[in-house]
Structures are given as C-alpha cells and as structure tokens.
Amino acid sequence: MKLMLSSSPHQHVKRNTGQVMRLVIYAMIPGIVAQLYFFGWGVFIQAVIAVTTAIVTEATILSWRKKNVPRALGDCSAIVTALLLAVSIPPLLPWWMTVIGTFFAIAIVKQVYGGLGYNMFNPAMIAYVALLISFPAAMTGWLSPVGFGFHSLGLVDAISTIVTGFTTEGYNLEQLKANVDGFTMATPLDAVKTGLTQGMTYSEALAMPIFDGGFAQSVGAGWAWVSVAYLAGGLLLINRRVISWNIPGSMIVSVIVCALVLHLMNQDHYASPLFHLFNGSLIIGAFFIATDPVSASTTAKGRIVFGALIGFWIVIIRTFGGYPDAVAFAVIIMNMAVPLIDYYTRPRTYGHGGTARKSVEETK
C-alpha cells in the first residue's frame, strides 16, 4: 500500500473536492436568488461573466502546465471563486472589470502559487481588493434595492448597462443609482459612514430612506433578507459537515462583542452590533469566504482565533478605516497570519502529555 499525500483541502468525510465545492454552490443559491430579487439581473449577468472567465482562464493555464484539464475543472473550485467575486461586486460593474478581476483571481492568486491547495490568500477576496483599489468609483456603483431607486432595470437594460454603460433609454450609472434622498451611496454601510463624517449622529443616519423597511431600523432595506438567505446556506454547510462552526461562530461573536463595546461607549457615533451583522457582506464572509479550506487556519483552536480576529478587524476597519465594508481586507490580513496561528495552536502530539512523561519516569 502507498501513503498518498496531497494538498488541501482535506475533509473528514467521504467526499472529493468536487462534491464539496458543488455543495458550496448549492448553499449559495438562496443568497444569489435574494440578491437577484433586490438588485436585479445584473447579479446573474456578473455571475455568468465571472464563471465563464474563470473556466476559460483555468483551462488555458492548466493546458499550458500539461495538467488534466477535465479532471481539474471538475473540482468546481474555479466556479466557487467566480461566484464569490460576482456576488461581492456591484451588479452593474462594467463587464471588462469583472473579467480582469476573475482573471487575476484564477491566473495570479491561484495558479501562480501552484493551483488549488497552494494559494496563500483567498482568490476572490484578493481580486475584489484589487478591483476596489484600481477602480474605486466603479466599485461603489451599487443601485438602491427594489422600490428605492428611480429606475427598475430589466434583463436587456442590465446587459446594456454592463456592456455599454447606458440603458436602452440612455441612463448612465450615476443617474440610475441616484436615491430618493439625494445620496448616491454604495451600500447602507457607506451611507452611514458618509453621514457620520458629515456630522450626523448614528440615529440620524439611520433615518435615511435606504433603511425604510429594515428590521429594527438598523438594516438597509433588502440587505437583511440577503444576509438571512446566505445564513440559511451557511447553516446547511455546517449541517452537512462541509464547514465547521469554529470560524463563522467566532467571527460573528467577535463582531457582536467589538461593536457592542464601541456602541456602549458612544451610541451617537458607533453603529450597533445588529447594524454590523446584517449590512454588507459579513454573513457571506463568515460562512463562505473565511471558511476557505485552503487559506484558513487548519487547527480547531486556530479556526476560533482566526475567525475572532477577522471579526475584530471588520469592526475596526469599518469604524475607523477609509472603506465602509472590510470583510475582504480582514480576511486577507488574517490569511497572512495563518501559519503563525497554526504553529501556536497545533494539537499536542499523541503520547506527549503529562501522563506519558510520568510513565516514562516511573519506568526509569
């Protein structure tokens, strides 16, 4: 018999990588459908563009490397990366930016490191940050949810806007994203952050129309349901033992604790834990991004530390940083710390405990 060694991801259940990745895709469907309902056909179009680019890019590079292309593509990891990027970017982002971001994720972040199992960073998050830094204006081009914008886009208008920058009626993105209150915000996180920098209190910022319909008046309309949909998918992954509770659980608890401390210090200036939990990409980040089996911590204790520190950085960057959302930055920061976390949280070697040492001493 041969002892076969392979790269991560490693699973404790009888599933191959392709089966695991397909379960992740299935678990994402409720969240994608919710985003499609509240933000229009652009979500679907971006997913198609990203998945197509990811498959073509990975197939091309694998063929250059003389790898088994059908077998490698069958693990569906490129599709998962593409979907995570597609649901993170604005639905009407120009098509060529989506292509650049997806190509960067697959070709540079994943394949340059050696392919699946060897990348140090989460490919989708690195690509997202690269796009955000390179095209900051375009990456804030989120439309208001259904019912809060002046214009409702059908499939043809969404395609036209993504390809040409204009709808069939001639509206550009700036005109489309103008909200009823005069703000051209990216997300509820950006709306509150902008309001606080302009001298508003936290409660005054929550009075913006984007929060009408949000439960407890702390969550932007539509965003709560998107988060709940991804939460349902994440709990399914835990139930099917695709991921463990350690990372998402510690990450969510950390966000609640850190946000609560700041909110109690100054309720007029710091957002509540509920606001942090259900606005932005925290939930999808906790269950689908931070739990990446390749770039996350591999030990049980390490996963708790890893998730808790991601939650800490999310609150800190959202509150004191220059960007309204911080999941991608927090995940990348902690990806760099994974080797150190794993080193100090590795489990004790079997037989290395105090009982074993005592037995040896008694034998002597």
pLDDT digits 0-9 by tens, 167-181: 888 877 777 766 444
- pLDDT at residue 145 tops 90: no
Instruction: Kindly state the tokens that stand for 101.
Output: 């971001």
- pLDDT at residue 320 tops 50: yes
Residue ranges covered by each domain of the chain: 16-182, 186-344
State the burial class of residue 67 (Cβ atoms within 10 Å of its Cβ: 0-12, 13-18, 19+).
middle
Instruction: Kindly state the tokens that stand for 216.
Output: 């407890």
pLDDT digits 0-9 by tens, 197-222: 888 888 888 877 777 655 566 787 78
For tokens 């909200």, name the residue: 179
Q: Give which of 211, 108, 91 is closest to 161, Cα–Cα.
A: 91
pLDDT for the residue 192:
86
- Whole-model pTM: value is 0.87
